[in-house]
Each structure stands twice: as C-alpha cells, then as structure tokens.
Amino acid sequence: MSDSSPARTEAVVLEVWCELQCPDCRTALDDVRALRERYGDRLDLRLRHFPLEKHRHAFAAAQAAEEALEQGKGWPYVEAVLGRVEELDRRGEPFLVEVARELGLDAEEFDTALIDGRHILIVDADQAEGKAIGVTGTPTYVIGGERLDGGKSQEGLRERIEEIADRLLAGQRA
C-alpha cells in the first residue's frame, strides 16, 4: 500500500554572512527580500555574523542583531540597521538601542545585552566558522554546500542562489 500524502519538503538553508555596517550588505537586502518572497518558508534564511575590523560598530551591531532575534524581530532589525548604515557609522551603540525602541523591542534589555556581552560567543563562533569556510568579506552566501561571495560583486548572485535552491528543492521531490 502506498502512502498518497504529499511528500513534505524540508526548507533549503541559505546562510547569509552579513555585517551590519557594510554598504554591500545593504545593497544585498533587495536580493534577500526577493528570495524570501519567491520561496517563502521553503527557504530558511539564517543570519550569520562576520563583523569586519574596519567597521568599529560592526561587532556591537552583530550582538544587537542576536538580541533582536531573541526578542522575535531579527530580520526586521537587521533590515532597519542596514537601511541606515551611515547613521550606525556616526552614532554607534546608542543608534542600535534607538532602532530597537523604534521596532517596539525592549530597548533597556538591548542596552544591557550590549553591556553584559551575552551574545559575544555567538558572534565569535560565527566569525570563526566563517573564516574556516573561507568567508573573507560580506555579504557571502552559503547554500547547498556552495559559497557565493557577494563582497566583490553581487552581479548574478540571486540567479545562482535560485538555481541551487530550485535544484535542491526538486531533488527532495524525486
């Protein structure tokens, strides 16, 4: 007797190695939104942190993004901060807390999280893993075991991600 229920497809994981003070990551947001729209819950977008030393607020911003994730608004927070990279550049941590407040998050808890460093280990682990797999700049995407570097050029990257995602999703149904 065969099971006639439709096969449940697992979401394809797309890791987005990002740095919240990076103008290239802001540009990549359009691709991320388009991918989210096209695939919905068939694509599991995972934010991975790769703060670059040249941006002095990037490490704090990565910790703040983790706090936003914990409070249930990770991607909205990431998009809000990336949309105002220059302001983060100028204002630093007070800006990160202000964005949290604007999104209705617990700003006091944000402030405390940045002071007590509760998310440092996550950011450090991401950064170490990124270096281990060859991430050198942001944005970098990893999907289906393939690393795509958007730090030099984002030309054609969304199409390549779609090709891989379509292939992986089709393979699940076979």
Please give the pLDDT value at position 157.
87
Q: What is the side-by-side strand order in the sheet with 43-49?
A: 43-49, 12-18, 140-143, 146-149
Q: Residue 163: is its pLDDT beyond 80?
A: yes
Please give the pLDDT value at position 4.
44
Please give the pLDDT value at position 9.
66
Please state, rounded to an integer, the average pLDDT across all residues of the chain.
Answer: 91
Provide the β-strand partners of residue 46: 15
Please give the pLDDT value at position 173.
61
Q: Give the end-to-end CA distance of the chain in Å, rounded to a whole number.
A: 19
DSSP-assigned states of every residue in 124-171:
HHHHHHHHHHT--SSSEEEETTEEEETTT--TTHHHHHHHHHHHHHHH
Average pLDDT over residues 144-158: 83
Report the C-alpha gap between 95 and 93 in whole angstroms: 5
Please give the pLDDT value at position 3.
46
**Torsion angle defined by CA atoms of residues 123, 140, 93 and 126, in that order, rounded to the nearest 10 degrees:** 0
Q: Is 75 or 172 the better-scoring residue by pLDDT? A: 75
Q: Which two tokens stand for residue 135?
A: 């991430």
Q: Give tens-digit pLDDT for 16-72.
A: 999 999 999 998 998 999 999 999 999 999 999 999 989 999 999 999 999 999 999
Contacts of 28 (CB under 8 A, 6+ apart): 16, 18, 139, 150, 154, 157
Please give the pLDDT value at position 8.
56
Q: Residue 156: is its pLDDT beyond 90?
A: no
Distance from the Cα of residue 128 to its chain's centroid: 16
Please give the pLDDT value at position 155.
78
Average pLDDT over residues 163-170: 93
Nearest CA-CA partner of 48 in 82, 79, 81, 17: 17
Indicate whether this model's pTM tops 0.85: yes
